[in-house]
Amino acid sequence: MEAISAKWLGKTYLVAVKDPGLAGTLRHFFRRRYKRIEAVKNVSFDIGEGEVVGFLGPNGAGKTTTLKMLTGLIYPSAGQVKVLGHVPFERRPEFLKKITLVMGNKQQLIWDLPVLDSLKINAAVYEIPDAEARRRIGAFAEMLDLEEVLKQPVRKLSLGQRMKAELMAALLHHPKLLFLDEPTLGLDVNAQVSVRAFLKAYRSQHRATILLTSHYMADIAALAERVLVIHHGELIFDGPLRLLVARFAPYREVSLEFDAQISRDALAAYGEVEALEGQKARLLVRREKLTETVRNLLAEFPVRDLTVSEPPVEDVIAKVFTAGRVA
Amino acid sequence: MRWLLKKAAVLLSTYHAYMLEYRGEILFWLLSGITPFFFMAVWMEAAGQGYTEISTDQYARYFFFVFLTRQLSLVWVSWNLSESIRTGTLSFRLLQPLDPLWHHLADHVAERGVRVPLMVPIFIVFTLLYPGTLTWPGWERALLGLVAVALAFLTNFFASYILGLLALWFEDAVELSEVWNVLITFFSGMLAPLSLYPETVQKVLAWTPFPYLVYLPSALWSGMPVAAGWPLVILLGWTLLFYLVSRGLWRLGLKHYSAMGA
């Protein structure tokens, strides 16, 4: 069974347009003008139960709008969507009990009260018996290393602790489908790693489906098997991350360390020189020419060390966004 | 039913703890609501000079209960709701299997649990300044007054909820709450007992919710001549009307929700 099925999904916003200054304000008051903004256009995809899918796109591409339609927060302007067999916008309790949404830039915890108070409310709202709620809180707190801070007011927590506590609150009812919108936003590397590990463990324990947006490619690379890329409201790629990288980055990065200084011009004949500092250089070489180029480099230059690596996924995605298509 | 009670108990206890964090702010808000005592002083002076038929003690009693009624029926839900719509924080509540209305209602009811104890010193000062003025109105009037003040609170709450929901259509409509408050000030009996208003004005006001929001409970508690039965039915009618309108607007308005900032 599909966890999510979206067909020709679209969302158009009417946005009031107002010129600056007093004249603009008066005109706006008497004759309001609107601009139609197509945030999402004809987006179709299916996500199977248990899949972890990364949702990528630059700011304003339509990721969050799509997530809002899938969770039932906003009403689609066009198309059909079914999530766990439900029409999301009807927001039936049996649907809401199976999903969750985590937003890295928003919080549901009550700011001035200890984390436990917000968890208590969620346990009651989702009708989780006291003993079971205590068991789940204990298990999550242990996994997220939060035991010591559950009785502290939310405002006293660090950003990393707060995000972990948000995850606890969002997952207390053991949802089958997780919508994660930038769950590691602003966290340091350690906290990011810990959140990723927690999500992986949750997914394997509960066979949950996850749709995840993140600007940190490490999140996507660590969690997602498949990615959807959206650009200007349109879906431009749907497939495995490695396929996206292979299609859009037909290069390998060759890092070199020489015994002597080498000129940029001499290296340029072998590939695109990304960096040259002292006796160290980085070249981008087309994959099909990699073996031949490495052989020639070793033959022509006094190479002390040589490594070949994939270009960073961030760079690949940046190129996809710049081009706006996946060729 | 068990879960309904459990949810109510958890929401009330948690929001009570939350409101306790704001006890200082609530105290200042409480003190800003003592205007009925200024009107009391004016009307007691007038009564002392024989300008009205109501005695000075009756005025003191009436305005004390005006103060109490207002404190028990204050609402601010339009601000919270409008803010949550404009900033998108309503989204978290929409994703839970509990209508956000219950959170707001629990928040208001729990706040009374902090506000009422803070009113005790005002009660003590009042009884010291005006000894013997506050008399027991009898069980019937006390209970009817409690019913009236509970309905007045709910009417205010749903009216305010409607104003907050307008943020789903307009950029910000919360200032309309000020209009509602001005109407309450002039037409609910806060400036003077409504029995002193011209008869025509009283007849017109009887068709509005305002006389029942302050005058009815205050008159019942202070022992002034007022009929309880029919006015309570009318007040219940207004409560139901505002409730139904708020539910209707909620259903219609959610299609306009854009979850901005979320």
Give which of A14, A116, A121, A122 to mutate to test B binding, by max B Cβ within 10 Å: A121
Interface contact flag, A13 B258, Cβ < 8 Å:
yes
State which residues form the domain around A227. Answer: 2-245
Judge if A133 and A272 occupy the same domain.
no
Judge if A140 and A271 occupy the same domain.
no
- Is residue B115 pLDDT above 90, yes or no? yes
Judge if A238 and A272 occupy the same domain.
no
- Is residue B49 pLDDT above 70, yes or no? yes
Is B123 a member of any domain?
A: no
Rounded mean pLDDT, A54-78: 91
According to the model, what pLDDT value does residue A251 have?
80
Rounded mean pLDDT, A138-160: 93
Is A320 a member of any domain?
A: no
- What is the tens place of the pLDDT at every residue in B180-218? 889 999 999 999 999 899 999 999 999 999 999 999 999
- Is residue B262 pLDDT above 50, yes or no? no
Nearest to B97 among A110, A113, A125 (CB): A125
Nearest chain A Cα distance for residue B29, angstroms: 19
A120: closest chain B residue by CA: B10
Is B121 a member of any domain?
A: no
Which CATH number does the domain housing residue A82 bear?
3.40.50.300
| Contact (CB, 8 A) for A75 and A50 | no
| Contact (CB, 8 A) for B161 and B77 | yes
Judge if A218 and A256 occupy the same domain.
no
Which CATH number does the domain housing residue A283 bear?
3.30.70
- The domain total for chain B is 1
Judge if A208 and A68 occupy the same domain.
yes
Nearest chain A Cα distance for residue B168, angstroms: 12
Is B198 a member of any domain?
A: yes
Q: Minimum mean pLDDT among A70-84, A313-327, B124-138, B143-157: which range? A: A313-327
Spell out which chain B residues touch chain A, with contact meaning CB-CB distance below 8 angstroms: 3, 6-7, 10-11, 14, 17-18, 21-22, 88-89, 91-92, 94-98, 254-255, 257-259, 261-262
User: Which residues in chain A have their CB less than 8 angstroms from residue B21's CB?
Assistant: 112-113
Structure pTM?
0.87
State which residues form the domain around B206. Answer: 36-97+132-256
d(CA B255, CA B136): 51
- Is residue B152 pLDDT above 80, yes or no? yes
d(CA A309, CA A320): 19
- What is the tens place of the pLDDT at every residue in B215-261? 999 999 999 888 888 999 999 999 999 999 999 999 999 988 877 65
d(CA A198, CA A4): 23
Is B113 a member of any domain?
A: no
Is A325 a member of any domain?
A: no
Is A95 a member of any domain?
A: yes
Is A322 a member of any domain?
A: no
CB half-sphere exposure, B93, CA atoms < 13 A: 16
- Is residue B161 pLDDT above 80, yes or no? yes
Rounded mean pLDDT, B88-116: 95
User: Which residues in chain B have their CB less than 8 angstroms from residue A104's CB?
Assistant: none
According to the model, what pLDDT value does residue A59 have?
82
Is B29 a member of any domain?
A: no
Return mean pLDDT, chain A.
Answer: 89
Q: Per mean pLDDT, which of A209-213, A240-244, A264-268 is the most reliable?
A: A209-213
Judge if A209 and A180 occupy the same domain.
yes
Judge if A7 and A30 occupy the same domain.
yes
Is A323 a member of any domain?
A: no
Work out the widest C-alpha separation in chain B, in whole angstroms: 63
Is B173 a member of any domain?
A: yes
Is B234 a member of any domain?
A: yes
Is A318 a member of any domain?
A: no
According to the model, what pLDDT value does residue A207 have?
93
User: Which residues in chain B have their CB less than 8 angstroms from residue A96's CB?
Assistant: 95-97
- Is residue A326 pLDDT above 60, yes or no? no
Judge if A204 and A264 occupy the same domain.
no
Interface contact flag, B91 A101, Cβ < 8 Å:
yes
Is B109 a member of any domain?
A: no
Judge if A115 and A30 occupy the same domain.
yes
Rounded mean pLDDT, A143-154: 93
Is A58 a member of any domain?
A: yes
Give which of A122, A125, A182 to mutate to test B binding, by max B Cβ within 10 Å: A125
Rounded mean pLDDT, A236-262: 85
Judge if A183 and A79 occupy the same domain.
yes
pLDDT band at A324 (very low <50, low <70, confident <90, very high): low
According to the model, what pLDDT value does residue A217 have?
79
- The domain total for chain A is 2
Q: Retrieve residue A26's tokens.
A: 């008066």
- Is residue A237 pLDDT above 60, yes or no? yes
Residue with tokens 């346990």: A123
User: Which residues in chain A have their CB less than 8 angstroms from residue B23's CB?
Assistant: none
- List the strands of the sheet with A234-240, edge to edge: A99-103, A177-181, A209-213, A52-56, A226-231, A234-240
| CA quadruple B4, B5, B7, B13: dihedral, nearest 10 | 160
Judge if A69 and A209 occupy the same domain.
yes
According to the model, what pLDDT value does residue B148 have?
97
Judge if A158 and A233 occupy the same domain.
yes
According to the model, what pLDDT value does residue B260 have?
65
Is A315 a member of any domain?
A: no
Interface of A with B in 35-94 (CB under 8 A): 64, 68, 71-75, 91, 93
According to the model, what pLDDT value does residue A286 have?
86
Helix (H, G, I), strand (E, B) or coil at A307: strand
pLDDT band at A149 (very low <50, low <70, confident <90, very high): very high
